[in-house]
Amino acid sequence: MKISHKRKVQLKLKKRILTTTSVTAAPKVKTVKAAPVAEKKAVSDTTVVKKVVADLALTPKQQQVLDIVRGSPEGINPKGIGLEAGQEDGKAASWATGALKKLAEGGMVERVQLAGNKVIYKAL
């Protein structure tokens, strides 16, 4: 089997998995929003977000990158993430980029484009 064909098949399978997890996550949010008390509703929404994040299977690298992004509320660039994770200066940005793309597709981090080619990531 050619590698390009294998990649296409794997991407199609991942898309199906991501859509099924988002569909199964939607009823959980709807049932929580039915709570009558406003204060409990706010607390319940944050727990639902954590449960949805926990439902998606993250690799250890993605989990480490997510923790680093959550630790910096003002946002952090890929090189800063890599350096904080203990990577070399030259490889830091490329090390974090793959995990950041997956987290951005999953809706766990937000990609913010700054002036020029500068990008920072913020946790949602």
What confidence tens digit (pLDDT) does each residue in 76-108 have? Answer: 999 999 999 999 988 999 999 888 999 988 889
Tokens of 44: 């319940």
Instruction: Enumerate the domain spans of the chain.
Output: 1-57, 58-124
Using pLDDT thresholds of 50, 70 and 90, give the confidence band for residue 13.
Answer: confident
Q: 12 pLDDT band (50/70/90 cuts)? A: confident
Q: What are the Cα distances from residue 117, in Å, to 89, 96, 100, 112, 120?
A: 19, 16, 16, 11, 10
Kindly give, in sequence order, each residue whose CB lies less than 8 Å from that of residue 107, ignoring residues fewer than 6 positions away: 124
Mean pLDDT, all residues of the chain:
75
Q: Does domain 58-124 have CATH number 1.10.10.2520?
A: no
Give the residue carrying structure tokens 């999953």.
Answer: 106
Residue-wise pLDDT tens digits, 27-60 = 444 444 454 554 544 444 555 445 444 546 788 8
* Global pTM exceeds 0.85: no
Helices (H) and strands (E) in the chain, counts: 5, 2
